Structure 1
C-alpha cells in the first residue's frame, strides 16, 4: 500500500484499469451518444494552477466527463446558488474550494479528463425546480460518466482523499517476524492491527445509488484504492492494497446484474413478464436493496425518497409497474407489511412530512420487508381499490409526493384494540407492546398480541364523537389462516385521524400460535379438518368483523 493515493504510480494504475475496462468489459455500460449533463465543471491548467468554470452543456456535443461521489458532511459552505452561478460561469476560484473538491479536480487533470460533475456545483441548490430536474437526471449522469471518483475515506467535503495514508492507527502494535521463503531465502513478515470499520461513504444514503448507477468507480478508501465495475467477473475489482471484508450491506452484494448490466437506453424495451422468474427475482431484489439503503444516513431526512429515486427509475423501466412512494403497486399486499428494525423503533416520527404513513419513507431508520408471495388468489382481504399520490414535481415521477396526498383506499376487516389498561394516558410507544382486544369469534373473550411500532410517539386520545377510547388502535387484517401446524394473523396497526374512516398507520402486528402462549398448535390426534375447524373457531379473531372501506394517509 502506497502512502500517497494520488502518486504517479497509482495514477498509472488507475489509467491501466480504466483502459482495460473500456476495452475488455462489454458488460459495463458505455457512454450514450446523446446524453450530456446540464452543467459541468471545466478544468484547464494555468500558470497559477487551475482555471475552473461552470459550463452550460445543453445543446453541446457530448464530451467525456467524470463524476464525484462523496460525503457532504453537513450543508455545503460553497455550493451553486442563483446568486453565484453567473460569476461561476466566468471562473470558480480553486484555492477556496473544500479539500475533497480540490482533490477530485487534481485526479481529473492527472487522468487527462477535462470535465467533472459534482452535485453541489452542477445543481442550483436554492432552486427547487432545478433540483427536481437534475435529481431526476442522476441515473444518466452517473451511468454515462466515464469514471466515478469516490472519496470513500473522507467523512466530509472538507477532509479530502489524497492525504497520506497510514497502515495502522496503532503503530506500537506492529511486529516484524522472520520468514523463510519457498526459495530458501530469509525474509520477514509484518503483523499489524488494521481498522476494519466501514469507510464513511458506505454509511451515506445518496452514495449507494451513485455506486450502483456508475458504470465504473475508482474508490479512494482510507486503506486502499479499489476499482469497481459492472462486469461480474471483475466485480471484486482491482486494488493497490489489502482487501477489506465485505460490508454487512455492501453495495456490490445488492447489485442486480439482470438490471444494472443493461445499457441505460435499452431498459425501456425490456419490461419483464410479471409471472416470470426474472421479474419476481428483480422485485425481491428491489425490496432487499431498500432495506439495505435505509441503514444509511442522510444530511436531510426529507431526501429519503429522493436519494433512491435514480435506482427506482431504473427498476421502473423494467417493471412497467406503478411506483407508489417507495413501493410497487403489484406488490402492495405484501410490501405494506414492512416494519422498522428493532434498533430504529425508538426514533421519533419526523416533524417534517416525508411521505404517507403507509410508506417506509414516512419514518427514519432502517426497515425490513416480508417475503413476497406473489400470490393473490387466496387473499380475500384487504382489497386495495386505489392509491392516489400527487407529485411535488411532475418532472420527477420517482421523487417526493406532496403533503396530504398519498391516500390508500381499501376494503378490510378491522378489530378494535386497546393498549394495556394499566398504561397511563401519556403512554409512549415502545419497540414492542401488547394490545388487548375483544375476540370476534365463537370463543369470545379477550385476546392479546404484540405490535411493532414504526416510531416512538405518544398515542393521543381519540375523538369522543367518533366513539374512540383513549389509547385505542385498530388492527387491520391483511392475512389470517392456518399453516400445516399453526395459525397466523398479521396486518397493520392503525389509529383514527379524521372523520370518515380515515386512519394513519402506526405499526404492524403479527400473531402466530407457534410462538404465542397458547394451545393453538396442532395436536397429534387432530387430522387436518379437525385442526382447521378448531383454529378457525379459537383464533380467527376477524371472523365476524364486517369489511369496511377505509382510507390510510
Structure 2
C-alpha cells in the first residue's frame, strides 16, 4: 500500500516525553486492565527480572527492588566495516556484577564509553517519563552463568511483565544526540479539521503506514526482537520517521491517530498479546502465525534461532499439552514436519565468537524449521488447521488432511530414545468422538441442521466448535516443557526415485518485506505476494524407473542436482486432498503451468519457471494430470498399465503441434541466424507451452471425479528426501508421492535416525 504523506507541518521535530506520558496515562485509565501488567510484588516469585537498571542511582539493583519497570527492545550497533574491530561492550557477568551495583557507576566516564547510545537513550527516556527502573538484556541477565538459560527462556515473563517496552527501531546515529526532547514527527497522512472524522479505511491505512516504517528498519530483521514485540503488552516505538504508541487496544502517533478518536474498536491487527491471554486450547493457527514470519529473521549466532523463540514457546506451552521439541509441538508433529520454505533456505550453521563458522556443523536439527533460515510457507501447514470447525479455519485448511503413520521417538543422542506417546495424537481423540459414551470429560457433541458431521465443544467455551475432541492443557500451574531434541528415530518405508527435471524460477519483480507480526500470515502482504525473485524455491519432478510420474518435492535451495543419481525418500505420514485443492498447491501449479500467480488487493505477481534441457524419456513424467498421477494405473509397469496408450497419444499430439509451431517460426529463426543451442531451447519452450494447452484441453474432456465437491480425493504419502552421514539422516527436501506409486516401489520397514 502506497500512501502519499502531506507536507510536514511547521516544526517537524517535537518534544516527545510529555506526549508519551499522555499516551501512557490514557492507556492506564482506558484499558489498563488489559494493557498494564500486575506489579512485581503480585507476580509469581520467579517471574520477575533478577536485575534492573536504577536510572536514579545509576546502577543495577535486584529486581525485587521495583514495583514495576520498563524494558528495552533494541539491536546492537552495526559495524559496517568488517576491518573495523567491534566496539567494546559492557555486560553483566561475574567480573562486573559487584562494580555495576555501585551507585553512580553508569555516570562514570569509563562505563559511559562502553554503553551504546541506544541504551543511554532508553535510560534517559525512562527517567523523563517519571519512571525509575529499566530492564536491558545484557545488563540485567548475568552472562555465562548457570541461570542465564533459565532467564532467556523466560523472556515471555520479562516482556509481558514490563510496564512499558521501549522499541528502539531507529538508526543507531539517532540515539547519539543529547537533545532528548527532539525526535522527528510523523507526517500527517489525512488532513481533517476534525481528527475524529477519519474514516475506518483511513485509520487502517494510517496504522499500516506506521507498521511499514517499523518493518523497514534493521530492528525488524533481527531474530531476538521478534518475541520482544510479540510478548510485551504495550510499547512506545521509535522509528526513523517518528514515534508511535502500540498497545493491546490502540495505536497513537501524534499525527493522524490520537487518544479520544473513535477507532479503538477497529481491528486492524491480530494482536498477539491478546491471543496469548485468551487461548485455552492449542491454537495451531496462532502457532503458524508466529513461526512463519519469525524464521526468516537473522541472528549473529545462527544457533540462537531456537533460543530466540523460547519465550514465545514458553507462553504457548500453557495451552499446548505435551512438549515442544526443537520448537515443534508434539501433538502437531506430523503436521509441522511438513513445513516448507516460503523462500529458499540456508542451513543454520553454528558460529563461534569469531566470524568463522564451526566447520559446517549445526546444533539445530535439519527436520525442524529452526534449523534453517527462511520464512515458512503457511500453506504447507494448513492440514493442521483441520480440527477447528470454524469458517475461517475451514477455508484455510480446505480438504487437506494428514494422518499419523509413525511411532515417533525423540532423543538427544544416538543410543537412547523416548517414545513420544503423551499426550495422545489427535488421531486418538478422533476415535473418541464416535459416540457420547466415549467422549472425553467435559466435551459435548452438537448436531446442526443441514450438516452431516457433528461439532464438538468443551465446557470452557461452548461457542467454540471443533471437528472432534482435542487434547487440552488446562493446568495453569503447569511448567513449560521445552526440549532441544536433536534426533527423531522411527521405522518406516523408503523408496528411491530419479529426478525427471528440476523446475527453477525465472525473474519476476522484486518485493522486499520482512512480514508483519501484527496480522495473520494468511493475510500478510508479504506472504500473499509470494517470495522475492532470487528466493523462489525450485520444484523437483520425480520419475519411476519406467519414466512415469512419481511425485513432487520442493527443494530447500538452489543447489545443483545430479539427474542421474536417485534420491532416497522416507515416508513420514499419509495425506489427502481433493483434486481442486491439490491443483491449487504451489508444487502442482509449478508442475502443470510453469508459473505461480499471487495477488494482494489490486497488485498481482507472476513468477515463471523453466526446465533445463530434457530428453524424451524425461518428458514422460511431465505428461500427467491429476487423474493419471493418482490413479492405480500409474504404478503399473508398461506391459500392464492402461496409461501407456494415453501417454503415447498425448506425446504424439504435443509433438505434432510443436512441429507445426517450429515450422511457423522457421523464417524468424533463420533471420536471427539462430544456433542449434538456441533452436533447442526455443523448441523446449514451445513444447512446455503446447503441453500445458493439450493437458488442459484433455482435462476439460474428462469428468470431474466421483461427484464430490472439488473432485476425487488424491491420496499420497508425505515424504522427506534424506541424505545419510555417519548413520544419521538429514532432511534435504519435503514433498509427496501418490499412494499407489509409493506402495508399488517402497520397501521396509527401515530404521531412520533423523538429525
Please give the TM-score of this superposition, normalised by the length of structure 2.
Answer: 0.52
Whether 1:30 and 2:38 are equivalent positions in the alignment is: yes
Whether 1:237 and 2:255 are equivalent positions in the alignment is: no
Whether 1:209 and 2:227 are equivalent positions in the alignment is: yes
Alignment counterpart, residue 567 of structure 2, candidates 472, 491, 494: 472
Q: Say if 1:399 and 1:85 are closer, same or farther in 2 by CA, change over 3 A.
A: farther
Alignment counterpart, residue 506 of structure 1, candidates 725, 732, 744: 732
- Residue 319 of structure 1 aligns to a residue whose secondary structure is coil
Give deviations 1:24-80, integer Å, cap 9, x for gaps. 312223334145311111112xxxxxx5112233xx454221111112245773221
Query: Match for residue 221 of structure 1?
Result: 239
Root-mean-square deviation (Å): 4.0
Whether 1:431 and 2:537 are equivalent positions in the alignment is: yes
Q: Say if 1:544 and 1:76 are closer, same or farther in 2 by CA, change over 3 A.
A: same
> Any unmatched runs of 5+ in structure 2?
1-8, 79-85, 195-208, 258-266, 350-359, 388-399, 414-478, 504-534, 579-710
Query: Match for residue 743 of structure 2?
Result: 542
Shift of 1:293: 1.1
Alignment counterpart, residue 451 of structure 1, candidates 553, 578, 587: 553
Pairs within 5 Å for 1:82-481: 82-90=94-102, 91-92=105-106, 93=108, 95-96=112-113, 97-125=115-143, 127=144, 129-154=146-171, 165-166=183-184, 197=213, 198-230=216-248, 234=249, 236-242=250-256, 253-256=269-272, 259-261=275-277, 271-272=280-281, 279=282, 282-342=283-343, 344-345=344-345, 347=346, 350=349, 351-369=360-378, 370-373=381-384, 382-389=405-412, 401=484, 405-419=485-499, 431-434=537-540, 436-438=542-544, 446-455=548-557, 470=565, 472-476=567-571, 478-481=573-576
Q: Say if 1:112 and 1:70 are closer, same or farther in 2 by CA, change over 3 A.
A: same
Q: Distance in 2 between matches of 1:40 and 1:460?
A: 57
Give deviations 1:401-434, integer Å, cap 9, x for gaps. 3xxx5221334332212345999xxxxx993253
Please give the TM-score of this superposition, normalised by the length of structure 1.
Answer: 0.69
Query: Match for residue 54 of structure 1?
Result: 60
Q: Say if 1:154 and 1:430 are closer, same or farther in 2 by CA, change over 3 A.
A: closer
Q: Say if 1:448 and 1:143 are closer, same or farther in 2 by CA, change over 3 A.
A: same
Q: Distance in 2 between matches of 1:338 and 1:373?
A: 11
Shift of 1:359: 0.2
> Does the 8 Å contact 1:358/1:505 carry over to 2?
yes
Shift of 1:316: 0.3
Q: Distance in 2 between matches of 1:82 and 1:398?
A: 29
Query: Match for residue 246 of structure 1?
Result: none
Alignment counterpart, residue 39 of structure 1, candidates 36, 51, 74: 51
Shift of 1:219: 1.1
Q: Say if 1:349 and 1:202 are closer, same or farther in 2 by CA, change over 3 A.
A: closer
Q: Say if 1:209 and 1:162 are closer, same or farther in 2 by CA, change over 3 A.
A: farther
Pairs within 5 Å for 1:492-503: 492-498=719-725, 502-503=728-729
Q: Say if 1:159 and 1:505 are closer, same or farther in 2 by CA, change over 3 A.
A: farther
Q: Distance in 1 between matches of 2:499 and 2:562?
A: 12
Q: Distance in 2 between matches of 1:124 and 1:368?
A: 37
> Does the 8 Å contact 2:539/2:554 carry over to 1?
yes
Q: Say if 1:62 and 1:102 are closer, same or farther in 2 by CA, change over 3 A.
A: closer
Query: Match for residue 716 of structure 2?
Result: 489
- Residue 317 of structure 1 aligns to a residue whose secondary structure is coil
Q: Say if 1:252 and 1:454 are closer, same or farther in 2 by CA, change over 3 A.
A: farther
Q: Say if 1:219 and 1:358 are closer, same or farther in 2 by CA, change over 3 A.
A: same
Q: Distance in 1 between matches of 2:537 and 2:280?
A: 40
Query: Match for residue 77 of structure 1?
Result: 88
Q: Distance in 1 between matches of 2:363 and 2:146?
A: 18
Query: Match for residue 613 of structure 2?
Result: none
Q: Distance in 2 between matches of 1:380 and 1:199?
A: 41
> Does the 8 Å contact 1:70/1:157 carry over to 2?
no
Q: Say if 1:371 and 1:84 are closer, same or farther in 2 by CA, change over 3 A.
A: same
Q: Say if 1:203 and 1:13 are closer, same or farther in 2 by CA, change over 3 A.
A: same
> Does the 8 Å contact 1:459/1:471 carry over to 2?
no
Total equivalences in the alignment? 445
> Does the 8 Å contact 1:477/1:542 carry over to 2?
no
Shift of 1:138: 1.6
- Residue 743 of structure 2 aligns to a residue whose secondary structure is coil
Higher helix share: 2
> Any unmatched runs of 5+ in structure 1?
45-50, 183-193, 244-250, 263-269, 273-278, 391-395, 424-428, 462-468, 513-535
Which range moved further: 19-28 or 539-548?
539-548
Q: Say if 1:180 and 1:505 are closer, same or farther in 2 by CA, change over 3 A.
A: closer
